[in-house]
Structure 1
Amino acid sequence: MCRDYLRPALLIFASIAVGVVGWSGHVLLLPVALGFPVLWSIARTRLVAALVSAGYFLAASRGLPQGVATFYSSDIWPGLLLWLCASLSFVTVHAALWATSAALRPFRYFLAAVIMTIPPFGITGWAHPVTAAGVLFPGWGWWGLGFMTAGLAGLVTRIWPAVAIAFAGLWLWSAASWTEPRLPNGWRGVDLELGASLGRDADLHRQRDLIATVRNAASDGARFVVLPETALGFWTPTVERLWTAASGDADATVIVGAVVVDPRGYDNVLVAIDRKGGRILYRERMPVPGSMWQPWRFRGESGGARADFFANSVVAVDANRAAPLICYEQLIVWPVLQSMLHDPDFIIAIGNGWWTEGTSIVAIQRAATTAWSKLFAKPLVIAFNT
């Protein structure tokens, strides 16, 4: 009787450990997440498979309750509720596709991995083990993604020890030769530490401080300077004129986050500003579900952020093409893969993570984006506010 309870308990505790360590925010620890499919496959009942899935996902997204409480200046309970609700899609998919037949498991897990990659389930497809492909197969691109997918299927078969040993060897080789993604020539990402005031305090004094920050970065020779998400606050004609005038005779172009509001709602955007003026460069494809994107609102009801889903996956910047990723898009899989289909020259990743203080959320965003950058051998520009 003790053994009947001991094995499931060990599997659940192991899945929690895999989620905590794999998604700790250290890019070289991402392959630890590959322990999840192994634990899922050796569960003997659908209930245990569901509990293993819940343990992994909840551990990987453990920073959410505290982050939500900070964002809304509330107690922990709303964050806990959102945390549990977000796990439902992951747990439901993996529990429903679990199979008692060993022959069916590779196909079933492959199907679960695909479902958690693309909308609608992919909208909350955090902590996807396939993200580790950038650590195990740096520079391999789509071939590396294919080998990673095949390896994930192999981890749920009886030969999983051999697959795990092969992955461990690739992991050690990669760790020994690891280098961070390079910056594109002439680009500079600027991290800020302005807390919750960034984007909310958008008075003239703050705008002038940001302009001075850009000038300082440009003085080092940067032709393109990237600032974090929502750094400008609301994108208005007045703000555009101020920044255009401040550009003067400088050759630098500023790529910065802002918010565009209209009667139907708002867009989280990237704008490009130079001495000739400003333009909207990119509209966020997948804003944060719940707090920003609210699909349950009735048609015509205003207030939420729009999701452009599969639009503007790459944007033109000067003579190059960039793949922008704003905040939440760095935690899920399909936005970056959609962008990579168009073979961009580099990746721009921005965020405003002031509300994540005391959690590993920003570190996880950086780690995931770094892994994708390494997989496809793309230079990377990052700019975050904390």
Structure 2
Amino acid sequence: MFNKQHPLFLWFVWLYCALAGLAWGHLPGIWATAPAMLLPILIPQLPRASRRFIAALIYFLVGSFSIVHGSAEFFGAGAGDGGGLADGMGLAAGMGWSFWIVSSILLALPWLIARNQALGVLAVLIDALPPLGLIGWLSPLAGTGVLFPGIGVYGVALLLAVWSLWSVQRWGKWIAGGSLAVALVANAIAVFSPTPAIDCWVGLQTHTGELVTPLQGVESAMQAGQMALAHPKAAAVVFPETIAGHWLPGTQATLYSKYQQRQNKAQIWLIGAVTFGKTHRWDSVVKYAPGGGKTDRRQHGRIVARTAFPVPVSMWAPWAKDRYGATWYTPVRKIGGQRVFTSICYDQLLPWVWLEAVWQHPDVIVATSNVWWAVKTDIPAIEDENTAAWARLMGAGAVIARNG
């Protein structure tokens, strides 16, 4: 299909990889995920392993450059729990550059073997699934929702088939043509079908910044609770990730008091907080819902979701004494009559977590994040783009709550 030996083709692929990386955070909505879908077709056309590696490396370096500034802000600020992992902005910036370069190299390595279409798909899957998938953002799989909205796991299977058989002369054209027909039909249905019934679900957008002390968590919870009271018609109000800080008695009492003031007595609150176990702390979402009576708080503050995988190093650090736990699997929960999948911050970047959601076919995606440290980067936009694309694949509505 292509003249692989022509020098211009090499430069074309490298330039395309750079533009596909740049699309993340810069193209509107789900379209930011679309250019990457061509990488498993283009990169295997390069005959040399070194050139394929450079192509993939360009893509990941350009797409993930926000890690540099975001890490400098996060670690330079002390990582949010007092005590920081790096002393001084110089060392924090050095960590950011290291994370950016090392993660890009690791994600580019599987493309060394991508000498044909099937091995190109294998490279995508190696990047997408643990262990490498623990840092495997910017996955070409995210674009599945652009082509195949509403058909879930079948859309993923069709995209993998197109990638694998693209260069097969006998079946390739039939597979590509048939998949294109399915994509056109699915997109037509998505355009003319009504949006999933989540009109009465509200996601709060807050700007409280970093929470260091328990008192700041109480104050933040009070402010967010007041914001929630401004939505009396909402069936459910979603709070941003860790907006309540540590889930301590003072914070719980504050939110319970606010919850009792709501006009809509059937309203549900889903609150981001840091909860504690025997050996770990957890990045969690807790639920305040009707029932239990005014004197029985045990029915309130129930944990309905924990992050599948917290941010590595800064949160998920098995070698650290005070560490966050990973659940590795996020189940769909029935909340307010809806099948809800909760995606907490970093989970929104990881394709293997989204594949867990696709398998469970939820009605609603609740996406919470606390990105005060990344507001000057593309990271919040990339989270939104992933959420929108994967939600579209599942035919689910998305409710986004962010502290930035």
TM-score by length of 2: 0.82
Amino acid at match of 2:48: T
Amino acid at match of 2:100: W
Match of 1:102 in 2: none
Residues 225-234 or 316-325, more deviating: 316-325
Counterpart check, 1:232 vs 2:244: yes
Distance 2:384 2:194 in 1: 11
Alpha-carbon distance, 1:146 to partner: 1.5
Offset from partner CA, 1:133-187 (integer Å, 9 cap, x none):
1111111222222211122224566769x95998699589959949996562531
Match of 1:253 in 2: 268
1:92 corresponds, among 99, 105, 109, to 109
Change in 2 beyond 3 A, CA 1:305/1:247: same
Secondary structure of the structure 2 residue equivalent to 1:202: helix
Amino acid at match of 1:231: I
Residues 256, 271 of structure 1: 8 Å contact kept: yes
- Indicate the RMSD between aligned Cα atoms, in angstroms: 3.1
2:286 corresponds, among 264, 271, 282, to 271
Distance 1:171 1:32 in 2: 18
Alpha-carbon distance, 1:84 to partner: 1.2
Secondary structure of the structure 2 residue equivalent to 1:324: strand
Change in 2 beyond 3 A, CA 1:199/1:181: farther
Match of 2:18 in 1: 16
Distance 1:181 1:62 in 2: 34
Match of 1:113 in 2: 124
Distance 1:79 1:59 in 2: 14
Change in 2 beyond 3 A, CA 1:164/1:47: farther
Distance 1:106 1:371 in 2: 24
Counting only pairs closer than 5 Å after superposition, residues 138-177 of structure 1 correspond to structure 2 as 138-155=149-166, 163=176, 174=187, 177=191
Secondary structure of the structure 2 residue equivalent to 1:341: helix
Residues 183, 380 of structure 1: 8 Å contact kept: no
Change in 2 beyond 3 A, CA 1:338/1:206: closer
Match of 1:123 in 2: 134
Identical aligned residues as a percent:
25
Offset from partner CA, 1:171-225 (integer Å, 9 cap, x none):
89959949996562531111123333598762544332222111012x2x01210
Unaligned residue ranges in structure 2 (runs of 5+)? 77-88
Counting only pairs closer than 5 Å after superposition, residues 161-240 of structure 1 correspond to structure 2 as 163=176, 174=187, 177=191, 182=196, 184-197=198-211, 202=216, 204-217=218-231, 219=232, 221-240=233-252
Change in 2 beyond 3 A, CA 1:183/1:258: farther
Residues 12, 52 of structure 1: 8 Å contact kept: yes
Residues 6-15 or 366-375, more deviating: 6-15
Secondary structure of the structure 1 residue equivalent to 2:74: helix
Match of 1:366 in 2: 384
Counterpart check, 1:342 vs 2:360: yes
Counterpart check, 1:304 vs 2:319: no
Alpha-carbon distance, 1:62 to partner: 1.7
Change in 2 beyond 3 A, CA 1:343/1:10: closer
TM-score by length of 1: 0.85
Alpha-carbon distance, 1:235 to partner: 0.4
Distance 1:205 1:349 in 2: 23
Distance 2:184 2:35 in 1: 10
Offset from partner CA, 1:79-135 (integer Å, 9 cap, x none):
11001121233111111x222xxxxx1221222222222211211111111111111
Residues 341-350 or 41-50, more deviating: 341-350
Change in 2 beyond 3 A, CA 1:200/1:88: farther
Amino acid at match of 1:279: R
Distance 1:23 1:149 in 2: 24
Residues 23, 30 of structure 1: 8 Å contact kept: no
Residues 70, 373 of structure 2: 8 Å contact kept: yes
Counterpart check, 1:56 vs 2:79: no
Alpha-carbon distance, 1:304 to partner: 1.8
Secondary structure of the structure 2 residue equivalent to 1:256: strand
Amino acid at match of 1:19: G
Counterpart check, 1:284 vs 2:307: yes
Counterpart check, 1:40 vs 2:43: yes
Amino acid at match of 1:227: F
